[in-house]
Amino acid sequence: MYEKEERQLTNYKNSYDNIEAPLELLDEAILNGFMKAKAEKRRKPLMKKWVISIGLAAFILIGFFSSIRLSPAFANYITVIPGMEKLVELIRNDKGKMLAVENDYYEKLGVSQEKNGMTFTIDGAITDENGLVLFYTVESDNEDTELNIDEPRLNYKDGQSLNWGSLSHSSGEVHTDGSGKSISTGTLEVGLAQPLESKELELKVKVKRETQTEDFVLPFQLKKEVQEKKTYQLNKTVTIEGQKITFLDTTIYPLRVAVHIKMDHGNTKKILNFDDLRLVDENGEVWNKIANGVSASKISDDEAIIYLQSNYFREPKELYLVFNKIQAVDKEEAMVMIDTQKKQILKQPKENVFSNLIVDGEQVMLTMQTKNEFHYSPFGEAKDRKGNIVEVPESSMSPKGGDERVIELGLRIPELQKVMNPISFELSFFPAWIKGETKVQIK
């Protein structure tokens, strides 16, 4: 029974086991439990309010299908729920979501709407107090190469606005089913600013194919009981290369783990990104940063929440937060200043990784050259000479000549000719690190 499904899971496991990357600098007891793995995943989240889309790369621990036969419910899901194989493909890089499915926390919905040859289906959901993930399928009666969703909005069914903090979208490739139809699957992940007030919701979304755009409105109701969060007060301060960081608390939800941190105001460096922050239990099992979606939210310049994959459905005896390196830059160098009229870079960090400023209409382009591959978009908020916010609705990154160490950055600034120079770009990511062996005990 379930032989086919077990073969599929075995293939997933084997594909992970062949990817290697050592996790360094843990003590010997933790090291003994580690599996080696590394993978990169890019994502394109939408942003709202104070939420930051963190990076384009994350370490992913592989090998969590340690024994397929220990999870017959998982094989059963693949058998009895249509399209479950596609769901596994969408979340297989997120250990927490996989555990939620394995523990019967996925809710099947199957709500559809058809319009002019296109059908949008909300297949199911995973919900907690802090977030909601919707799994969807788009079908077209044509052999389309593109089935893109746009402007997704989630509200309560009665029209009341839903207080959400972030919304990120991930989709797989469009493929045909052999009968002249095209199919695409994906996820919409909503970060909630507060728990849902009602389980009766409504999704509005546009779907674009090559020659047509349709608006879909899908009311749906969630029925599963939401599991309560687990919060651990920490208030523990660590020092790494002279920079003090306080871990205030850690809250574990079924979908993700929220780590609340605060940097000491007296630090000489601006802390940008915790590249390898992870959860580790007493057996060395690891839960890494969110690999696909929003992985951090900024509260202030010195305070933030970092999101990790969830271990909610595990109850370890011991649990640690572990990290070894942090992106950081001297505070006085934490910006890039340009003059778009003179076409000059006026200020940047001493590493001088930015060059070749080009201005063409509303387009601003720079080259970023690093010693090693760096898959993070460096710029955050932009301001003009008087400190006014400069809107940058579009940005891009692409390797030059196939060299991942030389990146061409593109920024579109509407009505650029009216912006008062110079323009200062806050650095959100930068290829400079502070390093050390750091471990904070949660329980």
Q: What are phi and psi of 55, to 5 degrees?
A: 65, 180
* pTM of the predicted protein model: 0.78
pLDDT, tens digit, 9 for 90 and up, residues 21-60: 333 333 333 333 333 333 333 333 433 333 333 333 222 2
Higher pLDDT pick, 61 / 250: 250
pLDDT at 48: 37
In order, the DSSP letters of 215-228 are: EEEEEEE--SPPPP
Max CA pair span of the chain: 71
Distance of CA 92 to the CA centre of its chain: 14
- The answer to whether the peptide bond before residue 72 is cis (omega within 30 degrees of 0) is no
The more confidently predicted of residues 53 and 275 is: 275
- pLDDT exceeds 50 at position 14: no
Query: Is residue 239 over pLDDT 70?
Result: yes
How far is it, in rounded angstroms, from Cα 369 to Cα 336?
14
CA distance linking residue 325 with residue 274, whole number of Å: 7
pLDDT cut 90: percent of the chain above it: 60
> Could you tell me the pLDDT band of residue 83, with boundaries at 50, 70 and 90?
low
Instruction: Find where tokens 């674009």 sit.
Output: 208
Q: Minimum mean pLDDT among 70-79, 204-213, 246-255, 386-395: which range?
A: 70-79
Are 170 and 97 within 8 A, CB to CB?
no
Which pLDDT does position 43 carry in this prediction?
36
Are 221 and 110 within 8 A, CB to CB?
Answer: no
What's the confidence (pLDDT) of residue 25?
36
The tens digit of pLDDT for each residue in 161-188 reads 888 878 888 877 777 777 778 888 899 9
How far apart, in whole angstroms, are the C-alpha atoms of residue 113 and residue 136? Answer: 12
Q: State the first-to-last Cα distance of the chain, in angstroms, to the nearest integer.
A: 40
Cα distance between residue 133 and residue 187, in whole Å: 7
Q: For residue range 123-175, what is the model confidence (pLDDT) as tens digits?
A: 999 999 999 999 999 888 887 777 888 889 999 998 888 888 788 888 777 77
pLDDT tens-digit map of 398-409: 998 888 899 999
The per-residue pLDDT for 111 is 96
343 and 44 in contact (C-beta within 8 Å)? no
Please say whether the beta carbons of 131 and 226 come within 8 A.
Answer: no
Per-residue pLDDT band at 82 (split at 50, 70, 90): low
Q: How far apart are CA 186 and CA 246, in angstroms?
A: 37
Instruction: Pick 354 or 71 by higher pLDDT.
Output: 354
- For residue 364, give Cα distances in angstroms to 113, 227, 337, 403, 409: 41, 47, 13, 21, 8
pLDDT at residue 271, as a whole number: 96
**By CB neighbour count within 10 A (0-12 exposed, 13-18 middle, 19+ buried), where does 158 fall?**
exposed
User: Is a pLDDT exceeding 90 seen at residue 434?
Assistant: yes
Strands of the sheet with 354-360, listed across from one edge = 354-360, 363-369, 403-412, 394-400
Give all strands of the β-sheet with 230-240 in edge-to-edge order. 51-52, 296-300, 303-309, 256-263, 243-252, 230-240
404 touches 410 (CB < 8 A): no
Q: How confident is the model at residue 210 (pLDDT cuts 50, 70, 90)?
A: confident
Nearest to 349 by CA among 236, 266, 443, 272: 272
